[in-house]
């Protein structure tokens, strides 16, 4: 009975990373209590790892985080062929997704340049919303003009529908934000005067907010746009 009681009171075995075989193995309690969990990347690095131990914490969440850090470090340094294959697959899928999204921008831009007159108001709004989401990536935003999507967006700033004006301004602001290439493209297309006019004359609050956002994105760190803005007075 005494032995049974002693076993039930003993602390649970600790976990440590084993990069050469099974991911984790247990240490006896007397060994685990002598110091922190250590994950040397090699036998030669064991001494240096011991010289800079990871502080041990009694907080279960902290100990779990230490184990995860050890695991991740070990995976990077001692990845198995299967793990390397998984990493390559994730990279390939990410590349495919980027290609698919660029192709989607191409389709939407083509619709804007050829089919706007045939589309309902809600369809145009949905198209602009999707483009705005896709163009949050600076590289994709930079190709919108090449795909003939920037000029129609500027044209939509004068739409009689507030929802379309709002989304067109938001798309322009998203594309121009911290993007000198798009800023220059908008200037070359004569896109600054419509923004300035909309900022001065717009009465719809939601449209005005997005217009000011787009105008701010155009003026930020863009001297030609700043000069043109001052000359507009």
- Positive or negative, the Cα torsion across 81, 86, 88, 89? positive
Q: What is the pLDDT of residues 183-203, one digit of tens each?
A: 999 999 999 999 999 999 999
Report the pLDDT value the prediction gives residue 85, as an integer from 0 to 100: 67
- Positive or negative, the Cα torsion across 125, 129, 135, 136? positive
More confident residue, 84 or 136: 136
CA nearest neighbour of 116 among 190, 169, 108: 108
- Kindly calculate the radius of gyration of the chain based on its CA atoms and give it in whole angstroms: 29
The whole-chain average pLDDT of the chain stands at 76
The mean pLDDT of 34-57, rounded to a whole number, is: 46
Asked if 147 and 110 touch (Cβ cutoff 8 Å), the reply is yes
Report the pLDDT value the prediction gives residue 114, as an integer from 0 to 100: 87
Asked if 24 and 66 touch (Cβ cutoff 8 Å), the reply is no
Looking at the DSSP assignment, which residues form a beta bridge with residue 24?
Answer: 17
Asked if 10 and 67 touch (Cβ cutoff 8 Å), the reply is no
Q: Phi first, then psi: what are they for 66, rounded to 5°?
A: -60, -45
Tokens of 215: 């105008």
C-alpha span between 219 and 226 (Å, rounded): 5
Report the pLDDT value the prediction gives residue 81, as an integer from 0 to 100: 73
Report the pLDDT value the prediction gives residue 100, as an integer from 0 to 100: 79
pTM for the whole structure: 0.59
Count of H-run helices and E-run strands, the chain: 13, 2
Task: Write down the residue that tokens 């006019």 correspond to.
Answer: 197
Q: What is the pLDDT of residues 146-166, one digit of tens each?
A: 888 999 999 999 999 999 999
């Amino acid at each position: 009975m005494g032995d049974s009681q002693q076993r039930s009171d003993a602390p649970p075995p600790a976990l440590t990373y084993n990069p050469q075989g099974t991911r984790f193995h247990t240490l006896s309690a007397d060994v685990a209590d002598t110091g922190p969990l250590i994950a040397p990347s090699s036998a030669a690095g064991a001494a240096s790892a011991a010289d800079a131990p990871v502080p041990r914490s009694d907080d279960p969440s902290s100990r779990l985080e230490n184990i995860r850090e050890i695991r991740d470090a070990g995976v990077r340094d001692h990845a198995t062929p299967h793990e390397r294959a998984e990493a390559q697959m994730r990279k390939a899928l990410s590349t495919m997704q980027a290609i698919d999204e660029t192709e989607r921008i191409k389709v939407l831009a083509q619709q804007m340049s050829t089919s706007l007159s045939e589309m309902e108001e809600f369809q145009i709004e949905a198209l602009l919303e999707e483009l705005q989401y896709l163009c949050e990536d600076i590289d994709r935003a930079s190709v919108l003009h090449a795909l003939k999507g920037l000029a129609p967006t500027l044209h939509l700033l004068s739409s009689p529908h507030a929802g379309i004006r709002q989304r067109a301004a938001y798309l322009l602001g998203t594309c121009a934000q911290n993007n000198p290439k798009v800023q220059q493209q908008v200037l070359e297309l004569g896109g600054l005067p419509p923004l300035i006019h909309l900022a001065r004359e717009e009465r719809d609050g939601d449209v005005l907010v997005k217009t000011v956002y787009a105008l701010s994105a155009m003026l930020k760190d863009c001297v030609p746009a700043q000069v043109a803005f001052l000359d507009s007075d």
